[in-house]
Structure formats: structure tokens, C-alpha cells
């Protein structure tokens, strides 16, 4: 009897070297291994338990676990949800206006469907199904249809960035977002002006107060926010250049009831750039500045100098929507087809590429982060451009048989 008890005792406990784990048989017949995986704030050890029906099974699990632990692949179990981690991730990572966009995406789209899932239980197939659903029926304005490909990619940028950070902090052993596929970004069709329509447009506003602004736009292709946010001291008439260092936009920030005009840094490193100016443009900007000085004298104390190159008559920043209204009135007066202010930027790019300008130069001028973006947006030709291309090809191929 004593001998049997000794055997049983020996079977229940198997000691191993330090940090190699302990192994024993439980009272319910199962085998359990315990191994120290760290220490809490009070210095007490934290242990991981592994279970099996036999000693051999648990020993195999223990060997596999130790390999994972030593290689850094083991992630301690956590009840933290993806939604909780996403909210933690968003706050310190972006500037206020981008944060506002991310919070909107998270609140309206991501958290309702993915937020309650435990971070470690979020799988690639779940994220893929989420994107598929949003692409098919993700609109939140009551209309049928899905989100645009650009919106899906922005959402993926947020989700993927959040999970990459979790991986870096060893909260995950892999990034499930790496497994998903998104459709290529589809850029909307846009209208542009022909050379003749540009001439008519400029001729129509020739005596307008903002002629210099629109002339600058049609000779550089600046974004609207870049155009309205140029500081006066970034215009160098001597060197005929403008430095793009900030943008101006109206935005409703997180927690604010109303939108406000905000200045921000350019969207990418390539967006922060130097823009060369034509002599005619320098001349017109200087003429506009002379007009500003007269307005400042006329309005006196009511003049609020914002320090910008282009301002309202009382020195304040020009509201983006007011620029849209001015543009619409010019088009109506000129009898031209409707194009947006942003389409003036498209016009510049299309005219340059159609005339044979190198894509690299156009991309640098527009401030695109990648040359592939320029090709994706403007990779098509105008009817006139196709005619010229065929004529050029004819000169190359047929000149020997003429």
C-alpha cells in the first residue's frame, strides 16, 4: 500500500529545471504543465497552464509552447477588444483633421461590426467579409450602394495600421489584415477644359479681383486648399516661385459642433514643394497685392490681415465655398460646361500630359506622393490627344513609303 502511494506521488509531480515548467497529473486524471511567462507589477510570477489527456501529450505541448515563447511568437491572452484598441490607437497617431476622419470612419462603419471582437480573435476572413459588405452596401446616407474604393482603402489604412501597431507591441503574433484583398482604387471620371475653353475662362474673369488666383491655378494645378493657404511670405517674386507649406480647409473636428477653417501641413512629403511661376503670373500676383494694400487702407480697423497671399477684401482667408461660387459664376458668364474647381487641377495635368510632358514632371508639379498616382488618374488620353498620337505614329511608320 505504501509502495502504491509512492508510485502515485511520483506520477503526479515531475520537476524540471528553472523556467522549464512543472508537470503533474491532476485529480481529474488529466495532465497539466505550468511554466512561468513573466512577472506582474508586484514581482509575482505569471504562469501559463497547458492541459492534456496524457503525460506525453502535455510534454509535446510544453515543448511547442517553449519554442513559441523563446522565438517571440507567443502572445499572452487578453480580453481587449479590437474596438478598444482602435480607439487607443487613433488618438496619438494623426493630426486633428485626419483624426476627425478616422473617428468618423470608426464610429460609423468599423466599430458597429468589428468593435466587439476580441483583438486576438479578429481573423483575416472576418476583415475580408467586412470589406466585401461595405463595398456592396456600406453607404450611410440612406441610398443604396457601397462605399467608394477610395473610402475602402482609407478604412483599410486605419485598420491595417492599427493591427500593425498591435503586432509591433506583441499583442498579436501576426497581422490578420495582411490576408485581405481590396479592389484597386477607381478614380471618378472628371471633366476638363480644352485649351480654347481655358482661354475663354481666363478672358471672362480678366478684370475680376481674383484673376491672379485663377491664373495661378491654371498654370500650376494646385489643390484648392494649397491655393487658399499660401502665406504671403512664401511668394518670392524675385525668384519667381511659391513654396507650398500649408493648406487651408473648412473642417468639423472631433468634439466640435461647428466646422472651422483650419491650417494644416500638406498631405504628403511630396505635397510640400516649390512651385515655379511664369512671369505673367508674378506680374498679376503683384498687381493683386497692390490692390490688397489699397483695401487695407480703405477698411482701416475693420481689415483683418491673415498674412495670406490671397484674401477676401477685408484681409480674412477666402472661404472654400466662396471660391466655388466665384468659379461657378465665371463658368455661367462664359457659357462654358460645368467643371469643379478641382477640375481646373485636372485640366492642367491633362493638357501637360497630352502635350507630351514627362509624367515625372507633372507628378512633381501636382505634388503626388507616387508617380503611379498620376498615371492612375490621368492614364487616359483626350480625343484630341489620340488624334495627335496617331498622326505622330503615321509620321514615324509611313515616312519611308511616301
| pLDDT one-digit tens code per residue, 50-59 | 889 999 999 9
Residue in 202, 213, 204, 215 with CA at minimum distance from that of residue 289: 213
More confident site: 189 or 156 = 156
Domain boundaries, the chain: 2-71, 82-179, 195-390
CA distance 248 to 263: 5
Instruction: Return the pLDDT at 102.
Output: 84
Identify the weakest region by mean pLDDT among 97-101, 305-309, 314-318. 97-101
> Over the stretch 318-367, which tens digit does the pLDDT of each residue have?
999 999 999 999 999 999 999 999 999 999 998 898 888 888 999 999 99
Instruction: Return the pLDDT at 395.
Output: 75
| Whether pLDDT at 180 is above 90 | yes
Instruction: Return the pLDDT at 176.
Output: 94
**What CATH homologous superfamily does 195-390 map to?**
Intergrase catalytic core (1.10.443.10)
Pick from 11-15, 23-27, 73-77 the range whose average pLDDT is largest.
23-27
Instruction: Return the pLDDT at 160.
Output: 95
| Whether pLDDT at 223 is above 50 | yes
- Out of 2.40.30.10, 1.10.150.130, 3.40.1390.10, 3.30.930.10, the CATH code matching 82-179 is 1.10.150.130
Average pLDDT of the chain to the nearest whole number: 86
Query: pTM of the entire structure?
Result: 0.68
Confidence band, pLDDT 50/70/90 cuts, at residue 1? very low
Confidence band, pLDDT 50/70/90 cuts, at residue 70? confident
> Over the stretch 375-394, which tens digit does the pLDDT of each residue have?
878 766 566 666 666 776 66
| Whether pLDDT at 242 is above 60 | yes
- In SS3 terms, the chain reads as CHHHHHHHHHHHCECCCCCCCEEEECCCCCEEEEEEEEECCCCCEEEEEEEECCHHHHHHHHHHHHHHHHHCCCCCCCCCEHHHHHHHHHHHHCCHHHHHHHHHHHHHHHHHHHCCCEHHHCCHHHHHHHHHHHHHHCCCCCCCCCCCHHHHHHHHHHHHHHHHHHHHCCCCCCCHHHHCCCCCCCCCCCCCCCHHHHHHHHHHCCCCCCHHHHHHHHHHCCCHHHHHCCEHHHEECCCCEEEECCEEEEECCCCCCCCEEEEECCCCCCCCEEEECCHHHHHHHHHHHHHHHHHHHHHHHHCCCCCECCECCCCCECCHHHHHHHHHHHHHHHCCCCCCHHHHHHHHHHHHHHCCCCHHHHHHHHCCCCHHHHHHHHCCCCHHHHHHHHHHHHHHHCCCCC
Mean pLDDT computed over 88-107? 76
| Whether pLDDT at 249 is above 70 | yes
Confidence band, pLDDT 50/70/90 cuts, at residue 5? very low
More confident site: 66 or 126 = 126
Instruction: Return the pLDDT at 2.
Output: 43
Instruction: Return the pLDDT at 18.
Output: 47
Identify the weakest region by mean pLDDT among 10-19, 211-220, 391-400. 10-19
Q: Report residue 327: phi and psi, to 5°.
A: -60, -45
| Whether pLDDT at 279 is above 70 | yes
Long-range residue pairs from 282-291, CB within 8 A, at least 24 positions apart, any chain: 282/237, 282/240, 284/211, 284/212, 284/215, 284/216, 285/212, 285/216, 285/235, 285/237, 285/309, 286/237, 287/212, 288/209, 288/210, 288/211, 288/212, 288/213, 289/232, 291/209
Q: Which residues contact 39 (CB under 8 A, 6 or more apart)?
A: 45, 46
Instruction: Return the pLDDT at 258.
Output: 83
Strand partners, 35: 48
Amino acid at each position: 500500500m505504501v509502495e502504491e502511494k509512492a508510485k502515485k506521488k511520483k506520477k503526479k509531480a515531475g520537476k524540471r529545471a528553472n523556467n522549464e515548467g512543472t508537470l503533474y497529473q491532476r485529480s481529474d486524471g488529466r495532465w497539466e504543465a505550468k511554466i512561468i511567462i513573466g512577472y506582474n507589477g508586484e514581482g509575482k510570477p505569471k504562469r501559463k497552464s497547458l492541459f492534456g489527456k496524457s503525460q506525453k501529450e502535455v510534454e509535446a505541448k510544453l515543448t511547442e509552447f517553449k519554442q513559441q515563447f523563446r522565438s517571440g511568437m507567443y502572445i499572452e491572452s487578453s480580453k481587449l477588444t479590437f474596438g478598444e484598441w482602435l480607439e487607443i490607437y487613433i488618438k496619438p497617431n494623426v493630426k486633428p483633421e485626419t483624426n476627425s476622419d478616422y473617428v468618423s470612419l470608426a464610429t460609423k462603419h468599423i466599430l458597429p461590426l468589428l468593435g466587439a471582437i476580441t483583438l486576438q480573435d479578429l481573423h483575416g476572413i472576418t476583415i475580408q467579409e467586412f470589406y466585401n459588405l461595405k463595398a456592396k452596401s456600406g453607404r450611410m446616407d440612406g441610398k443604396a450602394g457601397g462605399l467608394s474604393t477610395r473610402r475602402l482603402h482609407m478604412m483599410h489604412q486605419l485598420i491595417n495600421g492599427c493591427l500593425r501597431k498591435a503586432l509591433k507591441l506583441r499583442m498579436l503574433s501576426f497581422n490578420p489584415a495582411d490576408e485581405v484583398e481590396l479592389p484597386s482604387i477607381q478614380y471618378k471620371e472628371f471633366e476638363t477644359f480644352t485649351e480654347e475653353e481655358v482661354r475663354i475662362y481666363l478672358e471672362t474673369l480678366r478684370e475680376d479681383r481674383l484673376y491672379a488666383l485663377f491664373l495661378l491655378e491654371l498654370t500650376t494645378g494646385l489643390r484648392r486648399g494649397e491655393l487658399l493657404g499660401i502665406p504671403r511670405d512664401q511668394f518670392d517674386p524675385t525668384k519667381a516661385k511659391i513654396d507650398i507649406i500649408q493648406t487651408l480647409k473648412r473642417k468639423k473636428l472631433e468634439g466640435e459642433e461647428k466646422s472651422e477653417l483650419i491650417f494644416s501641413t500638406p498631405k504628403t512629403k511630396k505635397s510640400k514643394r516649390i512651385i515655379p511661376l511664369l512671369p505673367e503670373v508674378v506680374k498679376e500676383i503683384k498687381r493683386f497685392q497692390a490692390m490688397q494694400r489699397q483695401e487695407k487702407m480703405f477698411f482701416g480697423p475693420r481689415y483683418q490681415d491673415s498674412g495670406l497671399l490671397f484674401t477676401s477684401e477685408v484681409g480674412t482667408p477666402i472661404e472654400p465655398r466662396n471660391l466655388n461660387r466665384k468659379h461657378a459664376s465665371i463658368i455661367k458668364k462664359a457659357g462654358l460646361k460645368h467643371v469643379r474647381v478641382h477640375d481646373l487641377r485636372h485640366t492642367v495635368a491633362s493638357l501637360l500630359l497630352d502635350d507630351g510632358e514627362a509624367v515625372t514632371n507633372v507628378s512633381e508639379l501636382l505634388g503626388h506622393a507616387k508617380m503611379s498616382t498620376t498615371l492612375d488618374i490621368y492614364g487616359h488620353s483626350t480625343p484630341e490627344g489620340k488624334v495627335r498620337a496617331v498622326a505622330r505614329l503615321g509620321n514615324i511608320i509611313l515616312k519611308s513609303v511616301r
